[in-house]
Chain A
């Protein structure tokens, strides 16, 4: 029998990747061009951007945008929970009604819905509360009732409810049915089982897509400029319609949208950490170890199947 030749692979030469070098070079040249464009093109009017980026009126627009995002998201989440529970209920009428809602509000553009709510008075000149098909107790002029803010909340919130319903339904269905059985066997009521056992576990699957929804919502609020609500985009539009400094003012808006979405990303990662409790064999990372991990990043431990 022949012995194999004396070879030790320690210190072997690395494989060369010439194409990586070419791609990197191309990207670097493109980046340099972009920076040069940003710096040398006077049409960006960076001085104007700097002047407006801290302006008080922009701040008011941001506040409106944030307020609208928070309220519309709140409406969407509450509605989403109700619709998701409805779609998973044993009542066939509730299932059908909730399914129809989701079908309609996901199937039509949110911009159309916004304009529709804003012009509701053409359809219903008066809104009344009373016994269905019976006497009315309170009655109001739709034009007075539906302000641009309310139209925006209805348009964005009701649309969001349809999307959140699907996200929450998916999350609820991902929880092992054995969990509900164990809770039932312990004598827990269905409400308590939902609140303490099913929902917290569903949250792990609900939070990441909901974070994306918040970011989408923040940007979707810019649509309300069509119904003359003074959000961030409408505010910069109203300025550049007077001063014709269109590009620098749109840059101001972009800067603020980016700042807010960046903050939202960080917030989302903390919430995800909270709901990851017990999901792996490792203890969930706390706030302090997360902060210090920027200095000494520990090696991730692989999850061991149980």
Chain B
């Protein structure tokens, strides 16, 4: 078996006295699409933010493509990485946020090329060409010159996906990508994500879209109260949940 793309072992995180993650174990294989389901406050978004070190974990370890995230271990000692190293690790991990977080003072095209040009040092012309190709892939080639506020929520989220892809990430994290959208705009974003999954991108998706989980996920993980309650194929978890907590959650959302 190859090295997992993501390997989390006993990940713990607390905010003040509130323990949000109580030892999460999860392995995601290259090319795998994992959907994390769970009620609000279950820690699923927090876990996702730990994978690219937007949150610093308090215990356990997370490896992405075999590399320890946020820390370095040598000679039996573990120390925090410097900001520069953390920044380098994040370049390999794309993230899409619930609130899109596009840069409103940049046009769509500038949003997409900002990181490849400014961070990776890609030639501007080359980045521009790739940006147009990515915008075509998310169906927004004609919006390259628009500002984010001139777009609908669904269009903004698709630009955000193109922006993350422009860094050629080996892993994509989606943090409730459709939760801030009007119901009729959810489909276009999910269709874009489905396309990425079919192209073999490794993805971890935190969402409430059970339909997406059933259709696209290789594996569904159900979290509650800071632990992984149950994990398996969509058919196993969604249709034959073994845990009463999963059953209770699914009966509320389905």
Interface residues of A (CB under 8 A from B): 176, 178-179, 181-190, 192, 196-197, 200-201, 275, 277-281, 283, 306
Contacts and interface: CB of A to CB of B under 8 A. Distances in A.
B88 A182 contact: no
Given A182-B101, A185-B97, A187-B88, 6 more contacts: A178-B99, A181-B54, A185-B54, A186-B167, A201-B103, A279-B149
Identify the interface centre among B97, B152, B156, B160: most chain A CB within 10 Å of its CB.
Answer: B97
A178 B119 contact: no
Contacts of A184: 54, 87, 90
Contact of B167 (A187, A200, A278): A187
Interface in B72-118: 83-84, 87-88, 90-91, 93-95, 97, 99, 101-107, 114-115, 118
B101 A196 contact: no
A185 B152 CA distance: 23
Interface centre among A183, A184, A190, A278 (most CB of B within 10 A): A278
B105 A187 contact: no
B54 to A, nearest CB: 6
B54 A278 contact: no
A10 B94 CA distance: 61
The residue in A182, A196, A275, A280 that gathers the most chain B C-beta atoms within 10 A of its C-beta is A182
Contacts of B207: none
A185 B114 contact: no
A264 B152 CA distance: 38
A278 B164 CA distance: 20
A143 B167 CA distance: 59
A182 B119 CA distance: 13
B179 interface: no
Contacts of B126: none
Contacts of A279: 104-105, 149
For the complex of A and B, 3 pairs with smallest distance between CB atoms:
A187-B91, A182-B101, A278-B147
Given A278-B104, A278-B106, A186 B97 contact: no
B150 interface: yes
A89 to B, nearest CB: 13
Q: Which of A187, A188, A197, A278 has the most CB of B within 10 A?
A: A187
A75 B79 CA distance: 40
A196 B167 contact: no
B43 interface: no
Given A185-B54, A277-B147, A192 B118 contact: yes
Nearest to B92: A187
A240 to B, nearest CB: 50
A189 B93 CA distance: 15
Contacts of B114: 186, 196
B101 A278 contact: no
Given A196-B118, A277-B105, A189 B84 contact: yes
B157 interface: no
10 contacts: A182-B102, A185-B54, A185-B90, A186-B115, A188-B87, A201-B104, A280-B149, A281-B150, A306-B149, A306-B153
A280 B104 CA distance: 9
A305 to B, nearest CB: 10
Nearest to A180: B101
A192 B83 CA distance: 13
Contacts of B83: 189-190
A188 B147 CA distance: 21
